[in-house]
Amino acid sequence: MLRIPNLEEIHRKLLEVPSLIDGYARRDAAFLDDTLAWFSSVERILINNQSWVAAELSSMRGTIISARRGHHDEAPEALRRTSRRRVMEATAERMLRKALETVPKRFERDVAMIGRAEDSARELVIVARQLGLIAHEQGTTGGMAADRSLWRVLAEHEHTAKYTVYMRSVVGLSDSILLLDRVITR
């Protein structure tokens, strides 16, 4: 499972696709280069996170490069009246669409697990505030509201320990503290 900051980095890259598609709609000459650059940057992120999805994206990028060099999947008759640029841009758009299907699907399980851990963090904060383990003002002064010492207190308390055990088993200690901090500061 990927850690939360890594998933968020991938999510931010996926949110760049609408601006790429806007470039396609405007017939922006930079659309193809921007799309290739986007694929390369997402591949690097996935490689850094040791995700095999990087290979799939690399293959998609290769399809765009192939179209740029004049090789097409389409039958020659279908391409007779289509400009080379349109074929390249249509290929790039098709590969972007495919990437938007592939990448989120790979991380669905991770996102679901984080969602469950976040639900548990909300419950934990409610119980901890009722018990006086977390002050209602905590988290309003800026900075980290949750740290390892707070986590230790919550993990050792008989009424909150089950939440910490569950969260830690689902997303690990670092992400559990991150989620707890986010819930407290909201």
Note the pLDDT of residue 71.
Answer: 79
Note the pLDDT of residue 102.
Answer: 95
Buried b / exposed e over 59-92, threshold 16 CB at 10 Å, is ebbebbbebbeeebeeeeeeeeeeeeeebbbebb
Write out pLDDT tens, residues 24-59: 999 999 999 999 999 999 999 999 999 999 999 999
Q: Can you tell me which residue has the tokens 């830690």? A: 168
Write out pLDDT tens, residues 11-23: 999 999 999 999 9
Structure tokens at 7: 């998933």
Note the pLDDT of residue 142.
Answer: 55
Structural contact between residues 20 and 96, judged by C-beta atoms closer than 8 angstroms: yes
3-class DSSP state for residue 18?
A: helix
Instruction: Give the start-to-end residue ranges of the domains of the chain.
Output: 4-107, 112-185
What is the dihedral angle through the alpha carbons of 8, 11, 15, 17, rounded to the nearest 10 degrees?
Answer: 140
Q: What is the CA radius of gyration of the chain?
A: 23
Query: Distances from the Cα of 96 to the Cαs of 15, 53, 186, in angstroms?
Result: 12, 14, 34
The distance of Cα 69 from the centroid of its chain, to the nearest Å, equals 32
The distance of Cα 180 from the centroid of its chain, to the nearest Å, equals 20
Note the pLDDT of residue 74.
Answer: 58
10-residue stretch averages of pLDDT, the chain, 186 residues long: 93 96 94 96 96 95 92 59 83 95 95 97 96 77 72 95 97 95 90
